[in-house]
Amino acid sequence: MTDEALTSRALELAAEGIGRVSPSPLVGCVIVSADGEIVGEGSYIFSEVTHAEIAALKQAGERARGGTAYVSLEPHAHHGRTPPCTEALVNAGIRRVVCPIEDPNPLVSGKGFEELRVAGVEVVTGILRGAAEKQNEKFICWHRNKRPFVHLKTAMSLDGKTATVSGDSKWITSVEARAEGQRLRYEYDAILVGAQTIAADDPSLTDRTGGPRDRGLLRVVLDSGLRTSGESVIVATAEDHPTLFIAQDPDPAKAEEFRSKGAEVAVVESGPRNPRAVLGELYRRRITSVLVEGGASVAGSFVDSGLVDKFTFFIAPVVIGGNDAPIAVGGDGVERVADVFRLKDITVEHVGPDLMITGYPA
Ligand SMILES: NC(=O)c1ccc[n+]([C@@H]2O[C@H](COP(=O)([O-])OP(=O)(O)OC[C@H]3O[C@@H](n4cnc5c(N)ncnc54)[C@H](OP(=O)(O)O)[C@@H]3O)[C@@H](O)[C@H]2O)c1
């Protein structure tokens, strides 16, 4: 098998940790013996503590000696929750390490590769770099930008509406598209909406995929004055699902009521209308990724601030019409077409009768 195929297998193993590694990265490892046989495989799961390299080396045993390790992210060289993986690779007699990318954490980046080279191990980097960076885009953003990765997801009609003039929005997109939306929730640490979405739809905002997750999906509501009803589904279910209201000037009695029902209330000085301050609050809570699900005002404020890292639009083949029907993205927008927010690396998929368009800011 080629280096590329085995690196691809390491990425596949890393993906087994989706939903189960935050705030750490996804990591997978394949050990190939000196005579070219796969003798060990490992995936990282946060709660199991053991790193992917160690799990794979354990499986390989003595057959690792003289072999190659394919790792999806730079092996760490420092003492963290576990001893350095670089040391374990060297002690196991690994002669060659093939790994697409450096660890994005500026405190350790490059040090793992350096340590391996010093110990006489050949290090090959860069194979499938794009795929490896994409796989760990949340972790990379969290370290490089010191804030969570922001993914804006919206579901709309062909004419860009998210509800009818009367506010009816259930359901514009198909069962298949909504299942895909659930799958997205599974991959994120937090989901975020504005107070008006809670008032209009009274959603539960839960991850109903049933997939294993090490941390419950944190439901975040931006609500300056805590106008959300204490009888809303989100407050009523706060004992069972982590819930955080980000407010500016909440009524103390209402804040106390929410807290007594299991929700957290964080007061942010510059208010939730400042998306950067919202992300700062989430960063302090070690939230590495957030799925922004609307509505238009919240989506607009994140787009206007240039704080969206990824977009997913579900588009149903229906036309809703109505001058006053809610749209997908509000905010200030731009004045000139030359200044529009352009996306790149676009993927277009069919989900049931709907389209799912995903892209990154150009
Ligand atoms: N199809 C979809 O994908 C989808 C998803 C979600 C919602 N929706 C629809 O969207 C509609 C609600 O959208 P909306 O635009 O009226 O309201 P929204 O964006 O859900 O909430 C806006 C409210 O959130 C508060 N807020 C706090 N921080 C904010 C910030 N950084 N940016 C903007 N607002 C902030 C403000 O109230 P305070 O000043 O009181 O804090 C503001 O009035 C509903 O009809 C819902 O059905 C559709």
Question: What number is the average pLDDT over the span 3-12?
Answer: 98
- Ligand 1 atom closest to Cα of 198? 20
Mean pLDDT in residue range 54-69? 97
The region that residue 271 occupies, defined by phi over 0 for left and psi between -120 and 50 for alpha, beta otherwise, is left
pLDDT at 26 over 90: yes
pLDDT at residue 203 above 90?
Answer: yes
Atom of ligand 1 nearest to the CA of 274: 31
Instruction: Name the most confidently modeled range: 5-19, 67-81, 99-113.
Output: 5-19
Residue 241 has pLDDT above 90, yes or no: yes
CATH code 3.40.430.10 region(s) in the chain: 146-361
**Mapping DSSP to helix (H, G, I), strand (E, B) and coil, where does residue 276 land?**
helix
Residues 6+ apart with CB under 8 A from 106: 143
Q: Is 305 in the pocket of ligand 1 (CB under 6 A)?
A: no
Residue 325: predicted pLDDT: 96
Is 53 catalytic? The answer is: yes
Residue 46 pLDDT: 87
Burial of 49 (0-12, 13-18, 19+ CB in 10 A): exposed
What does the pLDDT read at residue 354? 98
CA dist., res. 249 & res. 246, Å (int): 10
- Reduce the DSSP state of residue 310 to 3 states and report it: strand
Q: Whose CA is nearest to atom 7 of ligand 1?
A: 295
Structure tokens at 117: 């080279």
The per-residue pLDDT for 89 is 97
- Determine the atom of ligand 1 nearest the C-alpha atom of 201: 47
Average pLDDT estimate for 350-359: 98
Q: Where exactly does CATH 3.40.140.10 map onto the chain? A: 3-136
Cα–ligand 1 centroid distance for 163 (angstroms)? 12
Biggest alpha carbon–alpha carbon distance for the chain: 70
* Best mutation site among 158, 222, 313, 329 for ligand 1 pocket (most ligand atoms within 8 Å of CB): 222
pLDDT confidence of 128, banded at 50, 70, 90?
very high
Q: What is the pLDDT of residue 78?
A: 83
Q: Does 268 sit in the ligand 1 pocket, CB within 6 Å?
A: no
DSSP state, residue 63: G
- Does pLDDT of 125 surpass 90? yes
Mean pLDDT value across the chain: 96
Closest-CA residue, ligand 1 atom 44, reads: 197
pLDDT band at 224 (very low <50, low <70, confident <90, very high): very high
| Atom from ligand 1 closest to the CA of residue 172 | 1
**pLDDT(255) > 90:** yes
Count of beta carbons in the 10 Å neighbourhood of residue 106? 9
Centre of ligand 1 from the C-alpha of residue 167, in Å:
12
Q: What is the pLDDT of residue 85?
A: 93
CATH superfamily of 146-361: Dihydrofolate Reductase, subunit A (3.40.430.10)
Kindly tell me if the per-residue pLDDT of 148 is higher than 90. Answer: yes
Mean pLDDT for 27-36 is 97
Measure 270 CA to ligand 1 centroid, in angstroms. 18
Write the pLDDT tens digit of every residue in 13-25: 999 999 999 999 9
CB 157 near ligand 1, within 6 Å: no
- Ligand 1 atom at minimum distance from 294 CA: 6
Angle, vertex CA 56, rays to CA 48 and CA 185, nearest 5: 45
Residues 6 or more apart whose CB falls under 8 angstroms from that of 344 comprise 359, 360, 361, 362
Ligand 1 and 197: CB distance under 6 A:
yes
Q: Which class does domain 3-136 fall in? A: alpha beta
CA distance 111 to 30: 21
Query: pLDDT category, 83, cuts 50, 70, 90?
Result: confident
Mean pLDDT, residues 81-107? 94
Q: Is the CB of 327 under 6 A from ligand 1?
A: no
Report, as an integer, the average pLDDT of 198-206.
95
pLDDT for 280-334, tens place per residue? 999 999 999 999 998 999 999 999 999 999 999 999 999 999 999 999 999 999 9
Q: Which of 251, 270, 298 to mutate to test the pocket of ligand 1 (most atoms within 8 A of CB)?
A: 298
pLDDT at residue 64 tops 90 = yes
Question: pLDDT tier at 107 (50, 70, 90 boundaries)?
Answer: confident
pTM of the model: 0.95
